[in-house]
Chain A
Amino acid sequence: AQTVTQSQPEMSVQEAETVTLSCTYDTSESDYYLFWYKQPPSRQMILVIRQEAYKQQNATENRFSVNFQKAAKSFSLKISDSQLGDAAMYFCAYRSIQGAQKLVFGQGTRLTINP
């Protein structure tokens, strides 16, 4: 079974600075998807960024980018120019390309933005 580990329960960053959230995973599959989701206080899950394992190029979405290291099974999220609205819980997630396509979530990292 696949597992996802986020080793940072909490992180904080100054507004406008850059922060990196860590995520590692374990799988025996060669192709899969990885995601970062944001859960603000409203608790609505919001997709931040998605990475297909077969793609070597790291995904980027505006201020959000990932560092995908397939051999190391590492998938970190970098947030540049942090904004107050980025404060939330961030979850790393794994999804197989086969089967039920259910998501396996990490434990989450609570990100605080200091003004």
Chain B
Amino acid sequence: GAVVSQHPSWVICKSGTSVKIECRSLDFQATTMFWYRQFPKQSLMLMATSNEGSKATYEQGVEKDKFLINHASLTLSTLTVTSAHPEDSSFYICSALQDYLGEQYFGPGTRLTVT
């Protein structure tokens, strides 16, 4: 089956620093990837839609300059949390939309802790 990986699975960073999270589709091409944020015991909140070769589309209320998204290839999208603060601590999940079948597959998530 289609596999999506995320790296790192867990990261701790200091307030004010930036952290990059990678999302890779391992065995299929994905022109479109999605980034979600999930707070404890809550649902997934879509942050942005990442499109290969073009700018990401951010959901209302998501700061573009804080959450930088780059989708440089058909198998890789990255989310960079810039100038991280404790309130950015959360679980970040990506998903990849398989080009051929149109199915969406999820990564295992990344736990970000900002101290």
Contact = CB atoms under 8 A, between A and B. Distances in A.
Q: Which applies to chain B's interface (DSSP): helix, strand, loop or mixed?
A: strand
Contacts of B108: 42-44
Contacts of B34: 102-103
Nearest to A92: B43
Interface string B40-55: 0111101001000000
Contacts of B43: 91, 105-108
B31 to A, nearest CB: 11
Query: Taking each of B41, B44, B95, B102, which has the highest tally of chain A beta carbons within 10 Å of its own beta carbon?
Result: B44
A107 B44 CA distance: 8
A45 B109 CA distance: 9
B97 interface: yes
A108 B108 CA distance: 18
Interface string B14-55: 000000000000000000101000100111101001000000
Given A45-B93, A107-B43, A100 B57 contact: yes
Given A43-B109, A91-B43, A102 B49 contact: yes
Q: Sort chain A's interface into a size bin.
A: 10 to 19
B53 to A, nearest CB: 15
B46 A102 contact: yes
Nearest to B44: A105
Q: Which applies to chain A's interface (DSSP): helix, strand, loop or mixed?
A: loop
B67 interface: no
A50 to B, nearest CB: 9
B106 A44 contact: yes
Contacts of B93: 43, 45
A73 to B, nearest CB: 19
A103 B109 CA distance: 17
A114 interface: no
Interface string A41-56: 0111110000000000
A101 B97 contact: yes
Interface in A70-115: 91, 95, 100-108, 110
Interface of A: 42-46, 91, 95, 100-108, 110
Given A103-B44, A108-B43, 15 more contacts: A43-B38, A43-B91, A43-B93, A43-B109, A44-B109, A46-B106, A91-B44, A101-B97, A101-B104, A102-B46, A103-B34, A103-B104, A104-B46, A105-B43, A105-B44
